[in-house]
Amino acid sequence: MTTLTGARIGVVTFPGSLDDRDAARAIRVAGGQAVALWHGDEDLQGVDAVVLPGGFSYGDYLRCGAIARFAPAMQTIIDKARGGMPVFGICNGFQILVESHLLPGALIRNDHQHFICRDQKLRIENTTSVWTRGFEFGDEIVVPLKNGEGGYIADEHTLDALEGEGRIMARYLDVNPNGSYRDIAGLVNERGNVAGMMPHPEHAVEPLTGPSLDGLTFFTSILSALASGVRA
Amino acid sequence: MSIDNIANAVATPDHPQPYRDLGVKDDEYQRIRDILGRRPTSSELAMYSVMWSEHCSYKSSKVHLAQFGDKKPQTDAMLVGIGENAGVVDIGNDWAVTFKIESHNHPSYVEPYQGAATGVGGIVRDIMSMGARPVAVMDPLRFGPLDAPDTRRVLPGVIAGVGGYGNCLGLPNIGGEVVFDPTYLGNPLVNALCVGTMKHADIHLAKASGIGNRVILYGARTGGDGIGGVSVLASETFDADGPAKRPSVQVGDPFMEKLLIECTLEVLHAGLVEGIQDLGGAGISCATSELASNGTGGMQVWLDRVPLRDATLSPEEILMSESQERMCAIVPPEHVEEFMAICRKWDVIATDIGVVTDTGRLVIEWHGETIVDVPPRTVAHDGPVYQRPYHRPAWQDALQADAPTAERLPRPQTASELHELVLRMTAAPNLASKSWVTDQYDRYVQGNTVMAQPEDSGMVRVDEESGLGVAVATDCNARVAKLDPYHGARFALAEAYRNVAVSGAKPLAVTNCLNFGSPEDPEVMWQFAEAVRGLADGCLELGTPVTGGNVSFYNQTGDVAILPTPVVGVLGVIDDVDRRTPMAWAEDGDLIYVLGDTADDFAGSEWAHEVHGHLGGLPRPVDLAKERVLGEILLAGSRDGMFNAAHDVSDGGIMQSLVEMALRSNVGARIWVPRDMDPFVFMYSESATRAIVVVPRDEESRFTAMCGARGFTAERVGVVDSQLDTDAIAASTEDSSNGSEPAQLLQLDNVHGETIRWSVDELRAAHLRTLPAVLNA
């Protein structure tokens, strides 16, 4: 068990990661200790949880996240995630988790074919995962969204299962910015330790640089879960 | 065919060379022969031709650009001046900032996506090569009419290219411009600005010093892209089975550039690098000759070591290739292994291609044969300098005489006409929301963006501890520059200066991108000369030195030049970004003031352009002494907490600024036309040196006293009011099913004795619809 401020959360830098420093900042602002992890190292330096940051790993010239999934660090992360270690993939990180089969479905090019950057309203629909336990069900939040390939798709059976099991973490409100099926912005795995989301909560943690402070709750959620010994 | 080496050149002095096809003039070719004492080899000819081109040598503009140095204001802020890859400015706390604009106009017309993308890539490498971490980009863009078919080809490609490259690099795009005018239809302007930050000790320069130091080329492999005109040389050496013609526009790989940024910063911070240079225009020719010319003076290069994407490239093509994402570093031999290790870590190819020598010559070998042996300075710095003839165009007087008077251009007379006009102007392509464009740019990445479009300036935090930050704005009303290039350049400078000051940052330094037609046209050359003179004089008057910039000539379609477009970028510093002044008003009861004097100024205005398609008259010269006072008021008011919001007044006048403030905040306001002022002139005049500030009531007396003490006009014209729609409030209380907020209204009183109102929602709809209506069609 770790104290709130002592929890160590790793942020993996892949070649082409862009929001790695931002994820680290968000962890610090929330009171945690950010640990820089390198894609080429299998060793996770004993971190308590991992954030896979946004960006364009390996340029995303292939399917987004398809190459990053094979990075040495990912092999350890995949193993440990299956054992319950908390992992949160943001944007490109979400794409990597999907490519790693830690989360179901796929992320495809936005239906309007353009990259889009906007302050996006979301509704939180899962408050049991270690990444969202600080929210109230139905909380409406605003965090930045910025992606070119954020359209979430899955087969009907999977979508029904996600809804039935309460695994849709966040849905787009007002505007569906990329054609995601059932307005899905983020989801969690069965166990609730692995979460992925296209919008960027790490860019909504400071009043000066974000549209809100709503993103902070994802990071305080995991820190309080780690501090109180909550296991997914 | 054998390689044209030095011995061959000596042996065959009369061998005909296609120098004219490379753009080398007869006298220039003779000068090359005089310098070398023989004919150049084909590789040398390739190097001289590209390094002596207008693009690389500034041969037509140099004599004018000297004014930026000659008239430089006294300042302690400049750490590195003109002539390096980019100027460097001291912003305090041991932090330095470098920034620069470059153009990528012609490639972006030929191939919009790659042209724009590599424009971003090039300026980012310029910033990197000063030792800075790039922290933001901005893009001043000009296109033909929005509804022209070719604009629909060019604009989406350019935007996707700027976004595709910049987003993938992790650089927030924090502002810029999108302007439409018919003269840009066949020649769009794609300018790209980059800002970088560093500690003073990290400043690096492009010079090859230290005999024995290694010359290391790192980054992407060299391919055949962007070799353009040199293909006439290649055709001499290629047989018929050689590769087909390659595209003349470079192709970008932002992922490689991102690796290059991280790798470069790591080798610089590890102290492994003596000098560094990016490879942009003229590729290896430029990097080796400039590094050698700036340094100890000699360099030996083994060109056959350069890693290639295409093994059939000739040495001339390798020298000229503008393949993107390459850098050249001068590394002491003892650091080479560590340098290489860092490159391997980032999966960046690095190759030791040469060594710094004391010969004073740049010698390049190709498989054991010497193909280049030149004094590097003659290639890099002692190119031709032209005193191009110039004269004031005969039509200038008639253009200036065609003033937009009320007799010449009918003006709206009634409240109802003015009501309609506001909706039209809000939706005019040049004034309409550019969110279709900017929503495709990542403005959040790096987590330091404090302000981005549509704010007056882009502002990023530099130091998370202290809140130290910088603001940058770019501006140019090219219509005003056409009417009067001297004052037009000063007008652009004043506007960018104001946009920085209005957000609470102190203007420090200037960069520019001077986009003009052909310098061989004496009338265009006059526009250029006048604009440079105006900008240099203006920078002296405002105390903001020019730190660098770019000239782009030959922007014309046939004989028709673009509007002279001297884009000016101003950089300012703010001690604590928490103190910035946003453009959105918010607090009910706050007072809305116009700072500055409004006169009947419609020459070059957006109204004359949009409503009458008219361009004529003589714009009132901007008074920069007054502009400086306005800047002081804006800064003092921001520092002392007198403003809750502020916004520049420029294109579209006071009315457009008020509309933008209401839209930004989604809060209404009540405005009144000052007594004795014509409502139309109040609303749409574009008199310079004005801003709108929003003052809390309890700060009003301090604010008016400050303006009074400086003799600066401040007129109260309105009050922020979210409760104007009292009818709607009453209705919503009666009907519990309608729990919506009251509609926000912008109300204008004293319009020929009447009151006009617009709902903020209808203004927003008008503002938002214009670009999507055309570009999503």
How far is residue B49's CA from residue B71's CA, in Å, rounded to a whole number? 32
pLDDT of B736 > 80? The answer is no
Averaged pLDDT, B571-589: 96
On whether the pTM is more than 0.90, the answer is: yes
B487 annotated active-site = no
How far is residue B512's CA from residue B86's CA, in Å, rounded to a whole number? 11
Which of A58, A61, A62, A209 would best serve as a mutation to test chain B binding (most B beta carbons within 10 A)? A209
Cβ contact, residue pair A117, B253, below 8 Å: no
pLDDT in tens, B533-544: 999 999 999 999
Res B237: pLDDT:
39
pLDDT of B366 > 80? The answer is yes
**Mind giving me the DSSP string for A194-232?**
EEEESS-GGGSSSTTTSS-STTHHHHHHHHHHHHTT---
Cβ(B687)–Cβ(B638) below 8 Å: no
Selecting from B441, B445, B578 the residue whose C-beta is nearest the C-beta of A208 gives B578
Question: B9-59+206-380 maps to which CATH number?
Answer: 3.90.650.10
pLDDT in tens, B641-671: 999 999 999 999 999 999 999 999 999 999 9
Res B236: pLDDT:
39
Res B54: pLDDT:
87
Cβ(B317)–Cβ(B361) below 8 Å: no
Chain B residue whose CA is closest to A205 = B447
B81/A102: higher pLDDT: A102
Which of B253, B440, B445, B465 would best serve as a mutation to test chain A binding (most A beta carbons within 10 A)? B445
Domain segments of chain A as ranges: 8-227
The architecture of the domain spanning A8-227 is 3-Layer(aba) Sandwich (3.40)
How far is C-alpha B343 from the chain's CA centre? 31
Q: Cα-flanking dihedrals φ and ψ of residue B604, to 5°?
A: 80, 10
High-pLDDT (> 70) share of chain B, %: 95
Chain B residue whose CA is closest to A204 = B447
pLDDT in tens, B4-44: 999 999 999 999 999 998 889 999 999 999 999 999 999 99
Res B173: pLDDT:
97
Res B580: pLDDT:
96
Q: Checking DSSP bridges between strand B87-92 and strand B78-80, what pairing results, if any? A: antiparallel
How far is residue B121's CA from residue B108's CA, in Å, rounded to a whole number? 13
Res B247: pLDDT:
61
Band of the pLDDT at B282, cuts 50, 70, 90? confident
Res B240: pLDDT:
43
How far is residue B88's CA from residue B420's CA, in Å, rounded to a whole number? 48
Band of the pLDDT at B47, cuts 50, 70, 90? very high
Q: What is the torsional sign of CA B360, B365, B371, B377?
A: negative
Q: CA B739, B740, B742 angle in degrees (round to 5)?
A: 120
Cα–Cα separations (whole angstroms), residue B635 to A48, B473, B584, B622: 47, 16, 17, 20
If we measure between CA atoms, which residue out of B368, B367, B316 comes closest to residue B17? Answer: B316
Superfamily of domain B62-202+425-578: PurM-like, N-terminal domain (3.30.1330.10)
Averaged pLDDT, B218-236: 69
Annotated active-site positions of A, please? Answer: 91, 200, 202
Res B248: pLDDT:
67
If we measure between CA atoms, which residue out of B223, B235, B243, B39 comes closest to residue B118? Answer: B223
Q: Locate all alpha helices (DSSP H) within B666-699, ordered by sequence.
A: 679-684
Which of A115, A212, A216 would best serve as a mutation to test chain B binding (most B beta carbons within 10 A)? A115
Res B35: pLDDT:
97
| Chain A interface with B: residues with Cβ < 8 Å | 15-16, 18-19, 21-22, 25, 54-56, 58-61, 114-118, 144, 146, 148, 200, 202-203, 206, 208-210
Res A1: pLDDT:
41
Averaged pLDDT, B377-403: 95
**CATH 3.90.650.10 domain range(s) in chain B:** 9-59+206-380
Chain A residue whose CA is closest to B348 = A15
Cβ(B454)–Cβ(B660) below 8 Å: yes
Cβ(B33)–Cβ(B7) below 8 Å: no
If we measure between CA atoms, which residue out of A198, A165, A221, A186 comes closest to residue A32? Answer: A221
If we measure between CA atoms, which residue out of B382, B127, B137 comes closest to residue B277? Answer: B127
pLDDT of A172 > 50? The answer is yes
Task: Give the 3-state DSSP-derived string for B46-66, with helices as H, strands as E and coil as C.
Answer: HHHHHHCCHHHHCCCCHHHHH
Chain A residue whose CA is closest to B452 = A209
End-to-end CA gap in chain A: 14
Res B241: pLDDT:
46
Distance from CA of B374 to the nearest CA of A (A): 40
Cβ(B148)–Cβ(B192) below 8 Å: no
**Which residues lie across from A116 on neighbouring strands?**
A147
Contacts of A54 in chain B (CB under 8 A): 445
Cβ contact, residue pair B255, A59, below 8 Å: yes
pLDDT of A5 > 90? The answer is no
| HSE value, Cβ hemisphere, 13 Å, CA-based, for B41 | 24
- Give the active site residue among B104, B204, B487, B767: B104
Averaged pLDDT, B278-295: 89
pLDDT in tens, B471-482: 999 999 999 999
| HSE value, Cβ hemisphere, 13 Å, CA-based, for A176 | 13
Band of the pLDDT at B235, cuts 50, 70, 90? very low
pLDDT in tens, B670-691: 999 999 999 999 999 999 999 9
Strands (DSSP E) along chain A, which ranges?
A: 8-13, 33-38, 49-52, 87-90, 106-108, 116-124, 140-147, 151-153, 168-172, 184-188, 194-197
If we measure between CA atoms, which residue out of B718, B596, B592, B608 comes closest to residue B652? Answer: B608
Band of the pLDDT at B732, cuts 50, 70, 90? low
Averaged pLDDT, B249-253: 83
pLDDT of B234 > 50? The answer is no
Cβ contact, residue pair A203, B163, below 8 Å: no
Cβ contact, residue pair B254, A56, below 8 Å: yes
Res A147: pLDDT:
96
CA dihedral B1, B6, B12, B15 (to 10 degrees): 60
Res B297: pLDDT:
79
How many beta-carbon contacts under 8 Å exist across A and B? 83
End-to-end CA gap in chain B: 54
**CATH 3.30.1330.10 domain range(s) in chain B:** 62-202+425-578
Res B249: pLDDT:
73
Cis peptide preceding B454, ω within 30 of 0: yes
Selecting from B259, B444, B464 the residue whose C-beta is nearest the C-beta of A15 gives B259
Averaged pLDDT, A27-31: 96
pLDDT in tens, B558-577: 889 999 999 999 999 999 99
Contacts of B163 in chain A (CB under 8 A): 115
pLDDT of B238 > 50? The answer is no
Selecting from A58, A115, A210 the residue whose C-beta is nearest the C-beta of B163 gives A115
Chain A residue whose CA is closest to B156 = A114
Selecting from A61, A118, A208 the residue whose C-beta is nearest the C-beta of B439 gives A118
How far is residue B321's CA from residue B152's CA, in Å, rounded to a whole number? 31
Which of the residue ranges B73-82, B367-376, B740-749 would you say has the lowest mean pLDDT? B73-82
Res B230: pLDDT:
52
Cβ contact, residue pair A209, B444, below 8 Å: yes
Selecting from B253, B441, B450 the residue whose C-beta is nearest the C-beta of A208 gives B450
Averaged pLDDT, A57-79: 95
**Which residues lie across from B470 on neighbouring strands?**
B460, B573
Contacts of B343 in chain A (CB under 8 A): none
Band of the pLDDT at B239, cuts 50, 70, 90? very low
Kindly report the average pLDDT of chain B as a whole number.
Answer: 93
pLDDT of B739 > 80? The answer is no
Band of the pLDDT at B76, cuts 50, 70, 90? confident
